Structure 1
Amino acid sequence: MVCNGHYNVPIYPEVIGEELFQGKKEHSRDYRHNGPYKDKRVLIIGAGPSGVDLTNQISEVAECVLFSTHSAVVAKQTYRENVIKKPDVSRIVDHETVEFTDGTTSRCDVIIYCTGYQYSFPFLDDSCGIKVEDGVIQPLYKHIINIERPTMCFIGLPFIVAAFLTFDVQTKYYCKYLDGSLKLPSKEEMYQDTENEKKWRNEKGISSNKFHMMGSLEQKYYDDLAAEAGIEPLPRVALKIKLASKDRQASDIQNYRRDRFVVLDDDNFILYESACDYPDCKET
């Protein structure tokens, strides 16, 4: 079982003129706390979970945070007054100046890239048959099993998921194969299943390098694994809580991490928002 994760080798986008910048350049992987950014002008590139959280935390101490993103969700979020939302970066002009796609320029002391990670398996030998091409690990069945060598599996490759839920369902699925309860299709059928998924994603407009992305497909993915392996389906309440937390992040970025969720049953939960008293909780 290959369980080395994919949040270690950072992706740095190519930015015109980046060699001119004399300030500090970092990746969100290296962030530990906001202390080093006190009174700095910080440019954050990328609006995934890391970009959103770092913008919120660093703005507590920074002189200014320039939040570069094209996210429609971020456009609606409310941050501190020292957060300035900017479009994508077009180029770096000089040792401290960045130009954005709207033609505006800003000075910054630090650039933090919140631009994701790449899959990396430096310990695998070519003989295992696994290749990483354009962000896709292949050949895999159900994003888990090495089709050529099915006694090898990968846990946790999908992204835009509730990570630990993914680990749990995938591991239970694979253990059913190991104990003989799950009979895999033929090699040809597994290859065809993977090709069918690639074709379906392409028809939906999902770029090929996002083959392992789940997002709105997450619940179906879990359900399919559970049905094939004969394991207990993931309770609907788990992803309902994830989606509720995501909505809360969008509406109250500064307080959503203080929310509390109480599970009532497999379908329902109670949300205690950080900004309200428990008697005024929201039941879903």
Structure 2
Amino acid sequence: MERKRVAIIGAGVSGLAAVKACLEEGLEPTCFEQSEEIGGLWHYTDDGRQKQGASMYKSLISNVSREMSCFSDFPFDKHTPPYPSHTQFHQYLQQYCNRFDLRKYITFNTQVVKVQRAEGSVEGEWVVHTADAGTDGTESRQHMFHAIMVCSGTYHQPHMPSFAGLENYQGTVTHSQSYRTPDRFRGKTVVVIGAGNSAGDIAAEVGLTASKVYLSMRDGVWIFPRLTRSARPLDLSISRALLNVPEFVTRNYLKMLSRSHINQVNYGLDRTKDPFTHGFMVNDEIAFRLASGKVLAKPDIAEFTRTGVKFVDGSNVDADEVIFATGYDVSFPFLDSDIHPSELHVYQELYKLVFPVHMKKHTLAVIGEIRNRGGASPVVELQARWAAQVFQGITQLPDHHTMLEHVRRDRQYRDSRFGPNKLPVVDLRYTDDIARDIGVKPSFWRLVFRDPSLAFLTYFGPAFPVHYRLEGRHSWSGAAEYAKTALFNTYSATRAGRVQTRSSSQLKVNSLITVLLVCLMVAVLAVIVMIKI
């Protein structure tokens, strides 16, 4: 029987996960990558990735810790620090690619010009037109595929908001896409526009060399550090147990955590919107730049003048350069709008943010068109595993009406919980939902009788990606052992060369404590049930 051929567009994090997922399910993947290397935006070059979406700046450090940003069955090397640099993350992707022999399925320096339905197709086949990267695409080649995974990411066209008078401004205007180092800003006055992670990183770094940096934001910002007390990665606080905590408790905790890092009112950052629903900035350095006066927070820009900007509070600033750190617009120029529209809120037409609901044959999946409150790798990996199983007929999607109803409810939920966004915000609830659909969501009650300590860690400990390899299809034999040591391994590269391992006695004590806690929890649940009865 002929193996189903799957075209994968892009060899970044999503594309690599898609290639591996296809191989796991017996599909035949062909990945088209327009650059000469894997990694997508994690592939740093000094001149940037011209016409290829977002680019890294030279000093970038991941905002997500290594154990929360790895693939589920491939941990980071033990020499990687808790927060890897872009170079270390790209090396990790290369190691992943080599470990699972993915490179031979990737066609480099090839751009996808057009994707269209195969004429007369009854099984949902596709024709993919490709051309050499950097050409106008007129001399294209055609390929036939049974299915498509769009893995080109969300960072396509730089988003440049319009401001009155911008065309008259005589200074230099750039987008964060072209930012690499702060050297050329030495002694200059710079305005950075934006309130996201890139805006904070760039403002803090440019503040080291510039004469003055003004950080302009429409409505302030909540700022969180990467590390909590004792320098523990903040994202290790994400656990399944917290999903049952009342939302108002979580909201107030996030506000308290942000204010303990930096008092917003004192530094002009006061925000009326909630950090739980409207995003935040992760940055460890911007607070000191603000405190030292190198960076000054300002409100939104009212208009540009010939020599600078005027803010909505009436103040004026003469500026040599303006950097728009205002994100990117989603764009799929190779897809016709009737297949997947490239416009705001396109996710409204995607069932669980992956499958276009209007298709009769679900042979196209969009991977990674999300904004995650954490690492992207675990999310796109689950999406790719799900898509591969659907393509192979292992997992079935519900009927059209059910999917439409889910999309409607999902949109209402996300808008109420996270606020309106260009891209859907996802969290642990989303990944667990996809994992449930493909039978890999860790079950506390199944684990508790087999391995109580593992069950306790899976539910009450950090929600590590490795949990999605504990059971179900393509489980990893080393998943249980690694899940128990992942927290300890977070600091394997930072212990000053000391070789430390958990002794058997420590493990026994921890297991005993876990068993007692589980028993206590079961007893509490039993009492609650009895009271309700």
TM-score > 0.5, shorter chain as reference: yes
Aligned to 2:222: 72
Q: Which amino acid aligns with 1:223?
A: D
Taking structure 1 as the reference length, the TM-score comes to 0.77
**1:196-235 alignment to 2 at 5 Å?**
196-204=409-417, 206-207=419-420, 209-210=421-422, 212-214=424-426, 218-232=427-441
Aligned to 1:265: 484
Please state how far the C-alpha of 1:4 moved relative to its aligned partner. Answer: 0.7
Please state how far the C-alpha of 1:276 moved relative to its aligned partner. Answer: 11
Please state how far the C-alpha of 1:232 moved relative to its aligned partner. Answer: 4.6
Conservation of the 8 A alpha-carbon contact between 2:171 and 2:308: no
The separation in 1 between residues aligned to 2:199 and 2:464, in whole angstroms, is: 22
Percent identity of equivalent pairs: 29
Q: Deviations over 1:48-91 (max 9, x none)?
A: 11001111221121111111122132746513331112122121
2:157 to 9, 22, 28: 9
Moved over 6 A (4+): 275-279
Greater relative CO (CA pairs within 8 A, separation 6+): 2
Distance 1:187 1:266, change over 3 A: farther
**1:85-164 alignment to 2 at 5 Å?**
85-92=297-304, 94-128=305-339, 130-147=340-357, 148=359, 149-161=361-373, 162-164=375-377
2:462 to 227, 237, 246: 237
Please state how far the C-alpha of 1:210 moved relative to its aligned partner. Answer: 4.2
Distance 1:203 1:97, change over 3 A: closer
Unaligned runs of 5+ in 1: 241-262, 280-284
Q: Deviations over 1:70-120 (max 9, x none)?
A: 21327465133311121221211x222211122211111111111111110
Distance 1:30 1:4, change over 3 A: same
> How many residue pairs were aligned?
250
Distance 1:56 1:157, change over 3 A: same
Q: Which amino acid aligns with 2:413?
A: W
2:180 to 16, 23, 32: 32
Moved more, 166-175 or 130-139: 130-139
Conservation of the 8 A alpha-carbon contact between 1:237 and 1:269: no
The separation in 2 between residues aligned to 1:277 and 1:98, in whole angstroms, is: 49
Matched, 1:59 2:59: no
The separation in 2 between residues aligned to 1:24 and 1:34, in whole angstroms, is: 15
RMSD over aligned Cα, in angstroms? 3.0
Larger radius of gyration: 2
Conservation of the 8 A alpha-carbon contact between 2:432 and 2:441: no
Distance 1:204 1:238, change over 3 A: closer
Secondary structure of 2:180's match?
A: coil
Conservation of the 8 A alpha-carbon contact between 2:369 and 2:423: no
Secondary structure of 1:132's match?
A: coil
Aligned to 2:83: none
Conservation of the 8 A alpha-carbon contact between 1:27 and 1:112: yes
Secondary structure of 1:67's match?
A: strand
2:406 to 181, 185, 193: 193
The separation in 1 between residues aligned to 2:312 and 2:368, in whole angstroms, is: 35
Taking structure 2 as the reference length, the TM-score comes to 0.43
Unaligned runs of 5+ in 2: 1-148, 224-261, 268-285, 443-457, 466-481, 499-533
Conservation of the 8 A alpha-carbon contact between 2:464 and 2:483: no
Please state how far the C-alpha of 1:160 moved relative to its aligned partner. Answer: 3.8
Distance 1:176 1:232, change over 3 A: farther
Q: Which amino acid aligns with 1:219?
A: L
The separation in 2 between residues aligned to 1:277 and 1:95, in whole angstroms, is: 54
Aligned to 2:296: 84
The separation in 2 between residues aligned to 1:134 and 1:193, in whole angstroms, is: 19
Aligned to 2:384: 171
